[in-house]
Amino acid sequence: MLSVVILTKNEAHNIGDCLASVRWADELLVLDSCSTDETVAIAQAQGARVAQRAFQDWADQRNAALDLAAGEWVFFVDADERATPELAAEIRRVCAQESPVGWWVPRRNYIFGRWIRHAGWSPDYQLRLLRRGRARYDLTRPVHELVLLDGEAGYLQNPLLHYNYDRLSQFIAKQNRYTSLEAQELRGKGLRAKPWSPILQPWREFVRRYVTLEGYKDGGHGLLLSLLMAYYSGVTYVKLRRLGKQ
């Protein structure tokens, strides 16, 4: 049995299309973080089982979803992602195997209306297909979660489509949340920001994304995204310095 799990918080604009793309699963489970829009009603109307739980961090929420799911296999999908029929067939095929116990899924990221092929956005493999009981999320990694697997992992070939940022304002809002979580994670590891870190880290990040990871091949989109990610790298270290002073 295969469960598709979707974590939500005010995803009324996404959840319907997302669920429609994964109807081939045996169970559709939506773990909602107390949405105030129509997310829950839409999910229930689409036949999903909905549970609600207050959000602490991503790793904690995904572990809770693993415990709630009924399937032997769990496929995590975000509300702004869509599974293709080709990916569905491949997942069904590999779930019939005893090993591996986890599968990396390639994501195809669409940002500001365009498929981004470079700058660290592709290939974007995510460990999303897990055999329940053989996988847990590392609670020391509240953002950019790390899966702890009891066994081997394999790689799927067909992509999961990710429509992650439609507008610049959406990108800015999400990065503001991420930088706060990342600063807390770095602080928890005992790291401290040096006075020059908010300057050097953005420069290193821009060179890494735009030059090393060939962001320039994506034209204006690649330049903009490289600059934005460099800026938010600096924001993370500014927030880390503030935590240190506190």
- Which pLDDT belongs to residue 242? 86
Looking at residue 60, its pLDDT comes to: 94
3-state secondary structure (DSSP) of residue 121:
coil
Q: Is the pLDDT of residue 143 over 80?
A: no
Are 22 and 77 in contact, with CB atoms under 8 Å apart? yes
Distance CA 176, CA 126 (A): 22
Q: What is the pLDDT of residues 208-231, one digit of tens each?
A: 999 999 999 999 999 999 999 999
Could you tell me what percent of the chain has a pLDDT over 70? Answer: 100
Q: What is the mean pLDDT of the chain?
A: 93
Name the E strands within 140-236.
147-149, 153-155, 160-165
Q: Is residue 185 predicted with pLDDT exceeding 90? A: no
- Structure-token pair, residue 93: 């095929």
Pick the CATH number of 2-164 from 3.90.550.10, 3.40.50.1110, 3.40.47.10, 3.30.530.20: 3.90.550.10
pLDDT score recorded for residue 164: 86
pTM: 0.86
The residue ranges of every structural domain in the chain are 2-164, 167-245
Lowest mean pLDDT among 63-72, 90-99, 103-112, 184-193: 184-193
**pLDDT range class, residue 79, cuts 50, 70, 90:** very high
Give me the torsion for CA of 114, 117, 118, 119, rounded to 10°. Answer: 40
pLDDT band for 165, please (50, 70, 90 cuts): confident
Give the pLDDT score at 49. 98
Q: Mean per-residue pLDDT for 136-146?
A: 85
What percent of the chain has pLDDT above 90? 75
Burial 161-183 (b: 16+ CB within 10 A, else e): bbbbbeeeeebeeebeeebebbb
For residue 27, pLDDT over 90 is answered with yes
